[in-house]
Amino acid sequence: MQVHPNKLECHLKFKVAHSTESALLRVYNDLLLTVDSGNIAVLLLLDLSSAFDTVDHQILLHRLKHCVGLRGSVFQWFKSYLENRTFSVHLDQSCSGARPLKYGVPQGSILGPILFILYLLPLGKIFQKFNISFHCFADDIQIYLPLKLQNGTTDSLQLLLNCLAEVKLWMEKNFLHLNESKTQVLLFGQKLQTTNPDQILGSLARSYQTSARNLGFTFDSSLKLHKQVSSVVKSSFYHLRLLAKVKSYFGFKDFERLIHAFITTRLDYCNSLYRGMEKSQIQRLQMIHNAAARLLTGTRKHDHIRPTLASLHWLPVFYRIDFKILLLTFKVLNGLAPPYLRDLLNFQSVSRTLRSNNQLLLTVPRTRLKRKGDRAFSVAAPVLWNNLPFQIRSAHSLDHFKSLLKTHFYSLA
């Protein structure tokens, strides 16, 4: 997976340091900055039908040999893994004869998603040819670009349509099927208030949605994330009610683990995208956190919750968001994050020798809108980072940084 990093990086979100959150954070950052600049952004979520089942083994082997550069024993390992496979159908007491299996990669295996992403390698060149940003996470493909309106229309739309036509042709040649009926299109931008989306999207208007689920996170055209928060609140309270029924069967530590498994993970999933969100939405998430703490400790409804959270060493939701952003920032600056996030952060450079030169400060880009540009990771991360004490910024390891940062936020909370 590390043979040709510049060829693979645009595609691989299924390797160490890559995650759905890092992918969504980059996409969301770009969308916020596009809207902040006064333009409209379009996001397409492409759906592939039975993608893993239609991978042609011979084409995949060709990719591994000529695109990735596998040779010798390593290539033979993959060849033996894919070739001479057979399948048969069992129904009650009947069984069909064995037939050769020339297509598909196992979805439940570790190699399955990786092999599928390598199968998609040439697809990235099509997006790059049309200068369209894209991210692939296994079979989830999302492409996006800014649209500049002129007299209510945009020339960028034709560029996008030409790209989609070429993508569809490439997929047909490689035995993949783009399910156009399940493809979703979202628009973002303040100009949408005075412009008809149908006029902007043309033939893509039939796939237009005001919100859509993207890698388990709900994007909406307003970028306010109300539907995402509502989804988290509904799911979390449902699981809290179930947990309350089984509390008596578990000890304190075991039940706390259940709380973290079913509730905390939902609150923390992609919470780096919550930065700058309306306070009312943060409060809705905090209500879940408070309810989980009360259930765990037996704290009464009208008792003050802050001492309970402090005794559990649980950071409030607001600080958990900042903690996640700063943790990602430290990883970016220390080579522990994907390159597509490293491109967003830069250390301050000055022409004169000043005492602040060695303070590990980041450049803060200029923005127009507090509710848009200021929420982007490339802006929020430097602001939060520069406000940290130098002792924390200069931590020598990830564990040391996390320890110092938690202590710092506990003192603020």
Domains held by the chain: number: 4
Q: Which residues pair with 91 in a beta bridge?
A: 94
- Helix 226-246 × helix 279-297 angle, to 10°: 10
Indicate whether 361 and 406 sit together in one domain. yes
Query: Residue 11: its pLDDT value, please?
Result: 45
pLDDT tens-digit map of 155-168: 678 889 999 999 99
Indicate whether 87 and 207 sit together in one domain. no
Indicate whether 31 and 144 sit together in one domain. yes
Residue position matching structure tokens 């202590």: 407
Q: Judge whether residue 129 has pLDDT over 80.
A: yes
Cα distance between residue 320 and residue 317, in whole Å: 5
Confirm whether 131 is domain-assigned: yes
Q: Which domain holds residue 152?
A: 20-52+113-220
pLDDT tens-digit map of 285-295: 999 999 999 99
| Helix boundaries (H) for 334-395 | 339-342, 377-386, 390-393
Indicate whether 165 and 247 sit together in one domain. no
H or E element, residue 27: helix 20-36
Cα distance between residue 262 and residue 354, in whole Å: 49
Cβ neighbours for 393, distance < 8 A, ≥ 6 positions apart: 359, 360, 385
Indicate whether 93 and 209 sit together in one domain. no
Classify each residue of 93-113 as buried b or exposed e, where b means 16 or more C-beta atoms within 10 Å of its C-beta.
eeeeeeeeeebbbeeeeeebb
Among the candidates 253, 286, 308, a domain finishes at 308
Find out whether 187 and 221 touch, Cβ atoms under 8 Å.
yes
Cα distance between residue 160 and residue 195, in whole Å: 19
Lowest-confidence segment of 52-61, 197-206, 222-231, 232-241 by average pLDDT = 197-206
Average pLDDT over residues 10-36: 83
Centre a 10 Å sphere on the Cβ of residue 208 and count the other Cβ atoms it contains.
16
pLDDT tens-digit map of 73-117: 999 999 999 988 898 999 988 999 999 999 998 877 888 888 998
Lowest-confidence segment of 177-191, 214-228, 290-304, 370-384 by average pLDDT = 177-191
Indicate whether 41 and 147 sit together in one domain. yes
Cα distance between residue 120 and residue 115, in whole Å: 9
* Average pLDDT along the chain: 90
Q: Judge whether residue 185 has pLDDT over 90.
A: yes
Q: Judge whether residue 64 has pLDDT over 60.
A: yes
Confirm whether 346 is domain-assigned: yes
The encoded tokens of residue 228 equal 């995402």
Find out whether 315 and 409 touch, Cβ atoms under 8 Å.
yes
Among the candidates 44, 78, 102, a domain finishes at 102
Indicate whether 48 and 158 sit together in one domain. yes
Among the candidates 169, 192, 220, a domain finishes at 220
Confirm whether 40 is domain-assigned: yes
